[in-house]
């Protein structure tokens, strides 16, 4: 069985777990939520095996590189790290409702990678710019940051829904963690993501210097990465120095994830040094 087939199957596993998380929230059934968690755990185990198998397949083809080099592989990795971080958050907070807002993101990333006709899932040789030891460090740190921001996005949506109903909400929103817990968790995820995004930008700059002879060239991907960094830096600064709380920070978090998505997808429509990552 090929890695692409395994990862395609995982798409439907994550889709099923997302449906179960939503059902557990809507119908207030803890048994459904537990089932969703177990299916997600089995899914991420198979997901891990699929990524490792793709890495092995790369060596069998005589190419030999980590599966992090194009849009397909990066989407697969993003979904994997998002799911892993979410499961850690779920275990730490003992609340599965967050899964109803995060699991669909993992599913959509996998679905786009596996089902979109515009995505090439073949293992291909690295272009010269990617033949560097910095590949893994840069991609891993960047996508850990993106995944944390994705979870913060889901939590921000939950926070705004909770506050819209006066802090307590109706039958469904009553299952959410308290607003102060959601706000604290949002801040933790943003802090975590910001540290790794910073690491991604730094490793990317060092890599760019070795590949192109300059640390920064104002390529669209670089520019939008910096814009994303400034959005989250503004959120953290406003909270720490200005004492901002609540809805304003949730809105900034949502805007920040919008910038992440544009950095990831939108700039590929523009000519630049990163045009190989499609």
pLDDT of residue 276: 46
Closest by CA to 144, choosing from 63, 88, 64, is 88
Would you state the pLDDT for residue 269? 61
pLDDT at residue 218, rounded to an integer: 81
Buried b / exposed e along 238-252 (16+ C-beta atoms within 10 A): ebeeeebeeeebbeb
Residue 216 region by backbone torsions, left for phi larger than 0, else alpha for psi between -120 and 50, else beta? beta
Q: If we measure between CA atoms, which residue out of 139, 135, 138, 238 comes closest to residue 190?
A: 238
Evaluate whether 14 touches 43 at the Cβ level (below 8 Å).
Answer: yes
Identify the segments of the chain with pLDDT beneath 50: 276
Q: Half-sphere exposure of residue 51, counting CA atoms within 13 Å on the CB side? A: 20
pTM of the model: 0.93
Query: Tell me, what's the pLDDT at 232?
Result: 98
At residue 211, the pLDDT reads 72
pLDDT confidence of residue 273: 52
């Amino acid at each position: 069985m090929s890695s692409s087939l395994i990862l395609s199957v995982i798409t439907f596993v994550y889709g099923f777990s997302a449906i179960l998380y939503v059902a557990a929230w809507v119908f207030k059934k803890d048994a459904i939520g537990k089932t969703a968690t177990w299916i997600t755990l089995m899914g991420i185990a198979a997901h891990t095996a699929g990524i490792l198998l793709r890495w092995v397949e790369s060596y069998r083809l005589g190419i030999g590189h980590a599966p992090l080099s194009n849009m397909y592989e990066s989407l697969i990795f993003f979904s994997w790290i998002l799911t892993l971080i979410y499961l850690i958050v779920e275990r730490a907070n003992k609340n599965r409702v967050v899964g109803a807002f995060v699991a669909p993101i993992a599913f959509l990333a996998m679905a786009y990678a596996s089902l979109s006709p515009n995505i090439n899932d073949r293992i291909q040789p690295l272009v010269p710019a990617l033949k560097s030891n910095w590949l893994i460090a840069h991609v891993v740190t960047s996508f850990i940051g993106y995944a944390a921001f994705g979870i913060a996005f889901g939590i921000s949506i939950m926070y705004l829904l909770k506050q819209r109903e006066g802090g307590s909400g109706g039958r469904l929103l009553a299952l959410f963690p308290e607003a102060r817990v959601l706000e604290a968790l949002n801040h933790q995820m943003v802090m975590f993501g910001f540290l790794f995004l910073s690491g991604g930008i730094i490793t990317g700059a060092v890599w760019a210097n070795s590949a192109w002879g300059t640390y920064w060239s104002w390529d669209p991907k670089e520019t939008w990465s910096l814009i994303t960094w400034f959005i989250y830096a503004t959120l953290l600064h406003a909270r720490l120095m200005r004492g901002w709380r609540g809805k304003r920070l949730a809105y900034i978090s949502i805007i920040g994830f919008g910038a992440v998505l544009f950095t990831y997808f939108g700039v590929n429509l523009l000519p630049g040094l990163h045009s190989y990552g499609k």
